[in-house]
Each structure stands twice: as structure tokens, then as C-alpha cells.
Structure 1
């Protein structure tokens, strides 16, 4: 009989013989006499939890064709598989994803767990009578990058799948039941043929109650698999406040709430303004009603000391007949004037640096702590900071901002507007220039004066070098060596004779042509002349004409002699 007096065990006592830790099990036995009053006592001190061997056993599938193979699933009477997964897999783009598969190559037995859609997981199995499917459809997404628990069980009574708190089953036909027979290895991460793979993390993988040490297998350097749960977004690839969407084999950046665009939110959205250009954005009626905290941001470059960078105006008139406004504009010293009135007093701050040097400069104005703290940051200069005293009589709200002006407003003369490049315009989560250059332009933004077009203000977008290419291992594909066609010896000799004969005839024709041309054009001493043919036998010109042409009469001329 084992007897332990648990009331005597103190968890606050000092630990003894720490060199023998960790202690996994303690057994007590009683060897004393039945009437003895002695008892044993074991004291345990404070325990330190250093992790969970089950849930720390986690791996990441980076490639959709990467797999881990373990011994086949055995379920003679009953069997179960349990694990947790996390993924942001986009099934609408890549199709369904197989997380577990085991097959029989002879009778077609099968078990398979597949993420079919963002809200649907299917357990497919076959025990020689065709394929059966147990499906769970959830009111929430499974590809939300949160951990979800999957457990499948198969026995004589039923096949059941449980995902988180949802469960579904198929009853088994007792008259035709037989044990499932599988011949392939249990494949985790894709099908047994490396297709329709899963990308994401899997942990706490158990088969029939025994943990499979996937982390140990991943540490051996398997293709497309890493120990731990490490995604692409862990390196923070999205810039300028872009939100990274983890896809595990890749990632994408959401630049919606930034004044940037591009694959990693690094492309500037700006434009060049002439002095007569005015850009106006009108807030939608369901937009901002009042703010006590703002982030106002502008990047610009100019050589001229004039113009409005950004101005916000309210459409609400207070009891004094005034409206709330905020203005960021160039001053006469080449700096920037920040000026606003939110109903309690007019505040003005002038940046003490000349910024009209044609270089890019960024100004960020923020209000925090319910409007009490104002911070003006210019490039890498020391920020200006001030705190407003807040009382019940002071209104710290910017009431009903409704219009944004860029370059100038309706009262600014056309020749006194801002001239230069401007980008990164932001008022909280409103980005006027971004709306101006959408494929379908926001109807709330308009401009007058010179036309505008998108311009980066001389800033090149950041680009990352390509990632190293992972080459999948040889998967026992067989390369078939196609034999060369053999040519019979007699056919080869006949073709060779024909080719030789044709070459000989062609050579003879070429030589004959050369000799003919030589005989025709190369006779020595002969040339054509316009002299009469009889000239070579005549003693004078008249005789030559008569001898050369028989049509001439043989005329004789009396010759006179001079005495």
C-alpha cells in the first residue's frame, strides 16, 4: 500500500539536492509494520516553469511543397491525431491546403485533413468503401494567424473531427467495418506527392497520444521547414507604418493608412505645384466631427518663401463668429509657420531654419494628451514642444474640420501660392494626395490652376534584394534515357553514294562554266573598234571604205601631177 501524507508537504521549503533535478516522478512505498507510527515526508520547493515540451514543439512550413514524413498512422481498433496550426494562407489564391495525409497504394485507404476554405476544414477518410468526408464550417476564419486546435478520431463507432469548440462526425457501418490499412508514411505539410501544401506553423503534433518531435526533424535542415514559428513579417519588411500581412511563404503590406504606396509602402506620393495651383479636399459628411489629438505631416522642397503647405478649416462658426482652423505655411524667412485657433486662443510657432534650399524637408505636427501637448518636429532637428494649460473654460477640440487646402486657398492671390514639390500629406488617417492619384479618383478632391500629376519629389523607393532560392530535394523522379535511332549499314552506304555522286556532278558543272567564261572573254590581241573592216588591207581611207563594204562603187579619181 502506498501512503502519502499530503498535508505535511510544504511547497515553501528549501529545495534539496538540486543536482538531481529535473524530477519527473516521485514514488513512495510503505515497508514498515502495520501498527508503526512512522511516516515519510518529501518536501518540494518553489518550481520554475521553463516552457512546455508539447506546445514548444513547433515548426514553420515556408514552402507549399515541403513535407515531413513520419511512420504511418495505425488504427486497428481506434486511432487519433491531434495538433494545433496557425496560418494566414490565402485559399482564394492558392486553393485548399493539405495539412496531413496518409494513403494506401493498394486498396485506396486514406486519411486526410485539409483546410478547404478560410472557414472550412475537411477530414477525408476511406476504409475500402469509398471516400467519406467530415466537414466543419466555422463562423470565423481559420486563416487569421491565430492558433486553432484540430483533433480527428476514427474507431468502430464513428469518425469524428473537432476543431476548437466545433465538432462533427460520421457514424460507421458495423456490418462492413474493417480496420484501416495505410502503406505510405504519414505526411505532414502537404500530400504524399508534395502537392496542395500548407504554409504556416504546426505544433503539439500527437498520434495516438504520443508526441511527434517535429522540431527535432526540422533542425536537420529539411527543405522549406524551420524550427519555431517564424514568419516573413518578423523582420518588419513594411516601411512607413505599413501593416504586414503574414502569409508565411510570403507577405504583403497594407499601405492604406500611410501616405505611401508600393509593395513595401516605400513609394512617395507627391506632386509639383505651380504658384497658381490650389488643391482642395472636402471631408465626406460622415467624416471627422471633432478631434483633440492630430498628426499632421508634410514633406516639401522649394526655393520660394511663399504659399500654404496645408490648411484645415472648420465649417462650424462659434459664438464669436470664428471658425477653427490650422495652417502650415511658408514664412518670409524661409521657415514654416504653424498657426491654429481651436476656439481658446491663437497659437503660432515659426520654425527658425531656412528651408527654401530646394532640398526635401519633412514637418510633423502632433497633439497628444487630449490636446494639451504640442510637438513640432522638423527633419532631424530637436523637436519643439509645449504644453497648454487645460481648464474647464478652454476648448481643446478642433471642431468639425471640413476642408483641406494645399498650395493656396480661395483668398490667396494666384501668384503667391506654393511653388515646388510636396508629398506625404497626412491629417490623421486622411491622405489627400493619395486620393488624387487613385485609379478612380476620389470625387471629394479637386484642383484649379495648373494641372497636377504624380511625382516622387526625387525620392527613390526602397527595394529589397531577392531572397535566396530554395531548391527542393530530389524526390526520386526518374529521368528516362531515350535511345538513339540506329541506321542500317546498307541504307547508310546507299545515302553516302548518292551524296557523293551529286557532289561530283556539281563539281563538273562548275569547272565547265569557268572554262567557257575564260575562252569567251580572255583571247589575247583582239578588241572591238569602229574602223571599217577593210582598213587593214587598204593604202588609204577611201580604199578602206570600198574594200570594207561591197555596196560602194569602185570609183577612180584622175590624179593630177604638178610639174
Structure 2
């Protein structure tokens, strides 16, 4: 939540005593902004508030001074009206916060109308009364006093900055504003994933002339149509990546400039801006799925904030939501696939997994009969990574599962299944150390699929079996990145293999890119044990 705090120059409470008539002690509170700026500030937030404290001693009163029982002190609002309430009491009610919950001394409307030494305080939540721009204090004598404290103006949830999510490309938000100047500019922030859609349009009354900001092939286009002439400015980069982008579009009689994330595209031409009337965020036609799907915020049209969240709350549409509310949820994409939010739907990116399919649940497997050969004779350097994975299903034992070596070093790696069906690891770093270990908790020759993953780092080596921690070595394992020759499943192996990952490549999913070579009666596809 965005919070803005505006301080004034009354840094300490003001103390008043002595013979003073009501309201004669005056103090202006200066905030360093103009009245117009103050109006725009307060109106630009969903809520604003200000702390107020009035402490009385010696019989001083607040709302019932003298025989007239009129206020002794009050404050001025930004519209120069008298604020005749204190704290969160209703506007102009001549009450204090304690009256709203029945806790005032002697059942008065304010504690400081009881004649006792007391305090009335609270937080004023009424934007029309804020901020306090002046104090009019008095009603004291030589034996009585008052002390007044006013806190800073605090505003929350800036409505122009508040995100609005469009989850239906047939919905829109609209408003009316005339283009009266010779210069047009639009500034907004948005994120989206679709490569084609409309973001913003500003049309004439007859809908024959317009300014239009849209996405085409992932690029952002600013277009002006007027008098039968069309002018466009197009970005070079593609922006439908689901990330936030800052977009500024400007046009005048000399041309157009479109800046996205600081990168400028421009066109120089003599332009006549159309007499625009109605602006639209989203679909121009409310059909055809041509509108916006994504999140948008901080929209400023010709310097004026478009408070989309306020409009969305007033004219609620089921395809428009306040906040950054995407479509992706946990579990939509399986096996580590990344959910790509399109806001009116989603897709799964399985590129960094050994799986495929719409939800990354598709297995890429291979049946490997005895006598087969499966290897990567030289790994693509671009695929070098120190994390690897293989899943096997077999009844064979005393076979190698993964062997690797470095073309330009002496380091070796061998992961095998011993005669007892247990996983055995033997690693030589090429210099001094041999690492050996056997995992006896699992029988890998039990004709059940077992998923083996291992990663090496500067500090350790870690291997898991079926997601459970298994073999662990401490030490510097950076030599692991030198391995670039890989051999899988020796000639005595019979069974299935799947989920193969070698660094950042997936040989069963994309054999050509991974440089996978194979021979024998290998069968790609289903890896059912019925084949065996």
C-alpha cells in the first residue's frame, strides 16, 4: 500500500493562556503546496486522515464556551470552512471523538466541555475537512489554558497508482474528457503477455477520429487517425513479457514520441490532433477479444490522473478487478513448470524442465534394451550447468547409470547400481580426492521408477532419490562444471529412462539440441514396463 505523508510547519503543539476571546489566536499551517495542488493530492487518494489533539486545563472549554455555549476554538479546512468537530466526530457536529462511543466526561459532547482538565483527541478521516490549514484558538483566562497539536496529513492508497487488473478482453473502463490543447500526452504503467490487444483509445464523438495505443506482435504502437490520415510510431522492442513497463506517448503538430522504459521511438510529421472526446481503457468494441488483458496503473492523460480504481469500484465489471490479480495459481503447471500469466488465462512454460505438454505433465521417455548405447560425445558449452537428473525403471543390477568425464581434465564421475541394487557413486576431482558412497535405503532394481537428481556447488555435492536427501559430500565441487562427455546406461542395462536433464539441456525432450547420440533398438515414447 502506498502511503504519502505531508508535513506542516507547526512542529510543536501550540499553547494558549490568558484572557482571550474565542478564535482570536490564529495560526496558519503551511504545507508547502498550493491550494490547487492540495486538492489534487487529497482527491488522488482513497483515504486521508490527520491526528488532532485539544488539551484543556483550568476549566477551558472547546465547544460550549460562555453563555452562548458556542465553540471557543476551531480550525480551517482547505476550502476555508470552519471545522466545528474534533477527531473522528461527524463533520460540523460540534462533537468530539468521545461522543461517538459515549465516553465523554460528565456525558458531554467533548471531554473539554466538562470543566475538568482533560484531552480530546482522535484521527480526522473526512477528506473534505482536510488538511487543517489554520487554527483559531481562544476562550482562555489567566487561570486556564489550552494546548493544541495537529499531526501530518497521511493519505493511503493512491487511486491513480492503484493497480487494476483486466481479466476479460471484452471489457473496458471509459470516461469523457475533451482534448483542448495542441499537445497530447499519455503516461501509464502496464504489464501484459498477449502479443495483440488494445490498451488505450481516445475517440471523437462520431468515432471517426482517434488516438490509439495498442500492442501488435508484442510491440507497442501509438496511432493517430484524423481527416483520413494515419500516423504511427512503433517501438523496436517487444514488451509482452508479463513485466511492468512505463509507457509515455506524446504528440503535437510536429510528430509523435513514444518512450517505453526510457527507450525512445519517434516519428516526425505534420499532425493535426483529433477532437477527442471519450477515452477507453480496454476493449473499444466490447467484443472480439481485442481489448486489454493485464494490469495497469498510474494513468495520466494530458497531465490529469485517471483514477481507474475509483471508476472500477463505481462501475464494477466482473472482468475488472482492483489490485494486481493474475490468473496463475499454485498447481496449474506441474513438475516445476513456470506459469505464464495472461490475465484472461495462462500457459505453462516447460522449457526449463524435462517435461512437456500444456501443463508440463507430459513425460519424455525411452525404452532401452540391452546392447544399446546412449551418450553425449561433447556437450554444448551453452548447456553447462552443475545440476543433473535421470529417472530409471529397471530390474537390472550391476550396471552403470551415468558416467562422465572432462575432455580437458582428468576428473571422472560414475553413478551405478551395484549387484545388490543399491546406488553407488564414485567421483575423482582430477587432482587429489576420490569420493565414494553407497545408498542402501533404496533398491533401484525393483522395477519401480526412481527419480535421481544431483547438484554440485562451491561448497558441497547433494544427491536425492525420489525427492529424498541421499548422498552428501562437503567440499569444493566446482570441477563438476568441466564434465562435458556423458554416457548413460551401459550395454547391460534393460529398462526405461525418463526425465533426463544434463545441465540446462533435456536430451529426451530435444535430442538434437542436446547432441544426444544413440544406437540399438531404442524406442522413444511410452516407457511402460509392459514393453519389458
The structure richer in strand per residue is 2
Match of 1:305 in 2: 397
1:347 aligns with 2:435: yes
Match of 1:25 in 2: 131
Contact 2:399 2:417 survives alignment (8 Å): yes
Deviations 1:236-257 (A, max 9, x none): 6333232333333333333222
| Change in CA separation of 1:278 and 1:59 when aligned onto 2, cut-off 3 Å | same
Match of 1:67 in 2: 172
1:104 aligns with 2:104: no
Structure 1 CA distance for aligned equivalents of residues 495 and 8 of structure 2: 85
Structure 2 CA distance for aligned equivalents of residues 116 and 287 of structure 1: 32
Match of 1:447 in 2: 518
1:205 aligns with 2:309: no
Measure how far apart 1:288 and its partner are: 6.7
Q: Which of 346, 350, 358 is the aligned partner of 1:255? A: 350
When Rg is computed on C-alpha atoms for both structures, the one with the higher figure is 1
Structure 2 CA distance for aligned equivalents of residues 274 and 134 of structure 1: 62
Match of 1:121 in 2: 221
Structure 2 CA distance for aligned equivalents of residues 313 and 193 of structure 1: 61
Contact 1:272 1:420 survives alignment (8 Å): yes
Structure 2 CA distance for aligned equivalents of residues 146 and 222 of structure 1: 24
State the TM-score, normalizing by the size of structure 1. 0.62
What does 1:420-439 align with in structure 2 at a 5 Å threshold? 420-436=495-511
Measure how far apart 1:77 and its partner are: 4.8
Contact 1:259 1:269 survives alignment (8 Å): yes
Secondary structure of the residue aligned to 1:259 is coil
Measure how far apart 1:427 and its partner are: 2.6
What does 1:268-287 align with in structure 2 at a 5 Å threshold? 268-284=363-379, 286=381
Match of 1:385 in 2: 472
Contact 1:275 1:407 survives alignment (8 Å): no
Matched positions, count? 405
Contact 1:104 1:110 survives alignment (8 Å): no
State the TM-score, normalizing by the size of structure 2. 0.65
Structure 2 CA distance for aligned equivalents of residues 59 and 148 of structure 1: 15
Structure 2 CA distance for aligned equivalents of residues 383 and 324 of structure 1: 22
Measure how far apart 1:114 and its partner are: 2.7
Match of 2:455 in 1: 366
1:406 aligns with 2:504: no
Secondary structure of the residue aligned to 1:248 is coil
Structure 1 CA distance for aligned equivalents of residues 269 and 506 of structure 2: 58
Q: Which of 221, 225, 248 is the aligned partner of 2:320? A: 225
Match of 1:141 in 2: 238
Match of 1:6 in 2: 9
* CA RMSD after TM alignment: 3.9
| Change in CA separation of 1:99 and 1:358 when aligned onto 2, cut-off 3 Å | same
| Change in CA separation of 1:260 and 1:349 when aligned onto 2, cut-off 3 Å | same
Structure 1 CA distance for aligned equivalents of residues 192 and 484 of structure 2: 39
| Change in CA separation of 1:378 and 1:192 when aligned onto 2, cut-off 3 Å | closer
Structure 1 CA distance for aligned equivalents of residues 424 and 210 of structure 2: 73
Measure how far apart 1:281 and its partner are: 1.0
Structure 2: unaligned runs, 5 residues or longer? 1-6, 14-30, 32-50, 54-120, 139-146
| Change in CA separation of 1:134 and 1:430 when aligned onto 2, cut-off 3 Å | closer
Match of 2:308 in 1: 214
Match of 1:52 in 2: 158
Deviations 1:214-252 (A, max 9, x none): 334545552533332222335463332323333333333
Structure 1 CA distance for aligned equivalents of residues 522 and 175 of structure 2: 69
Contact 1:373 1:386 survives alignment (8 Å): yes
| Change in CA separation of 1:223 and 1:159 when aligned onto 2, cut-off 3 Å | farther
What does 1:170-185 align with in structure 2 at a 5 Å threshold? 180=275, 182=277, 185=278
Contact 2:390 2:452 survives alignment (8 Å): yes
Contact 2:460 2:473 survives alignment (8 Å): yes
| Change in CA separation of 1:48 and 1:342 when aligned onto 2, cut-off 3 Å | farther
Match of 2:228 in 1: 130
Measure how far apart 1:119 and its partner are: 3.3
Structure 1 CA distance for aligned equivalents of residues 374 and 479 of structure 2: 25
